[in-house]
Amino acid sequence: MGSDERNLTTGSLICDKYKICEPIGKGGFGICYAGEDLTTGEKVAIKLDSKTGNSKSSVLHEITIYRDYLKPINSCIPAIYWYGSQTQLGNVIVMQLLGPNLEKLFQLCDKKFSQKTIQMIAFQMIEIMKTIHSMGLIHRDIKPENFLLGSGIHSKRLFIIDFGLSKPYKDNQTGQHIDFNTTARMTGTLRYCSINANKGHEQSRRDDMESLAYIMAYLHLGSLPWQGIKVRQTISRQKAVQEIKETTPMKHLFKNASNVFVDFLFECKHLDFKEEPNYEIWRTRFGQLIDEFDYKYDWDRFGHNFD
């Protein structure tokens, strides 16, 4: 959207109830705005694009995912207040407004997290993946920007957002798992996607979990070995990143960290396509690393109020 279109959008009403305020995020889907419920005064998030009726719209796809899979869930997924399509605004989702994402918090801390903060994050991310996967979904775009702190009484807990690339990995009626194939295109964020996703292989639960491990490595190192590669063509870049992921020793990604991180990445990379990850074992192992799980993070020292 250009500035003129944003100006037209700001101040618009959704269902004569939700007022669109300032933009707070932008991506391939369109723009996410802060908003307000005029009946209660509650702050909300409003996600929209301008592709009404376009089946390729990620917002429209996300609406379908929320409608068919996510509506009963609350613990780690933002509440949805309204979704649909409106003239001139396109596809719209009105949802719970959350706090900052992990990438912003990492930048706030000069890209240096303590082991305790990383361990508490790892524990929660595994718990979130268990929840998502239990609904028959894989997320397929696991990255720090998609993990956000909650707000209010939930401001110490992590939530997950952006289901625009999500996909069922099993049939809701029969429970039958999707089949493996090597002809799928790469889906997700190149920096964090699994090696199999990097190759264009069909994804399953194991790929979400491998992406979690790369987030943990990023938070530990401050950057990943395959960042910043100078390759002009997308396909060449994709292959170059794949080669570095395949050849980088796992211990290098978690130098001076607990072996639990290395073990976690190793197991994620060796899961079978249809195999269920052992979430409870990994929650237990990461939990045992934490002397006191008190939800006190490195960014708390800045005294920011994220409510």
Residues 71 and 138 in one domain: no
Residues annotated as catalytic (active site), given as ranges: 141
d(CA 1, CA 213): 34
In a domain, residue 291? The reply is yes
> Given this model, what pLDDT does residue 58 score?
86
CATH of the domain at 256: 1.10.510.10
Domain with 62, as residue range(s), is 3-96
From 49, 80, 96, give the residue that closes a domain. 96
In a domain, residue 296? The reply is yes
Residues 90 and 162 in one domain: no
pLDDT in tens, 125-135: 999 999 999 99
Share of the chain above pLDDT 70, in %: 92
> Given this model, what pLDDT does residue 244 score?
96
Give the pLDDT band of residue 50 (cuts 50, 70, 90): low
Residues 211 and 73 in one domain: no
Residues 92 and 134 in one domain: no
- Burial (Cβ within 10 Å: 0-12, 13-18, ≥19) of residue 203: buried
**Residue predicted with more confidence, 231 or 127:** 127
Q: What is the mean pLDDT of residues 31-60?
A: 85
**Residue predicted with more confidence, 293 or 87:** 293
Residues 90 and 112 in one domain: no
d(CA 43, CA 62): 21
Q: Distances from the Cα of 31 to the Cαs of 45, 142, 168, in angstroms? A: 10, 19, 25
Q: What is the mean pLDDT of residues 289-298?
A: 96
From 78, 96, 114, give the residue that closes a domain. 96
Residues 59 and 170 in one domain: no
pLDDT greater than 80 at residue 300? yes
Residues 130 and 213 in one domain: yes
Residues 174 and 255 in one domain: yes
The pLDDT mean for the chain works out to 91
Length in residues, the chain = 307
pLDDT greater than 70 at residue 214? yes
Q: Distances from the Cα of 97 to the Cαs of 34, 70, 239, in angstroms? A: 7, 17, 37
pLDDT greater than 90 at residue 162? yes
pLDDT greater than 60 at residue 55? no
Residues 147 and 70 in one domain: no
> Given this model, what pLDDT does residue 1 score?
45
Using only the alpha carbons of the chain, give its radius of gyration. Answer: 20
d(CA 124, CA 128): 6
From 96, 112, 129, give the residue that closes a domain. 96
**Residue predicted with more confidence, 9 or 102:** 102
d(CA 170, CA 136): 6
pLDDT greater than 90 at residue 72? no
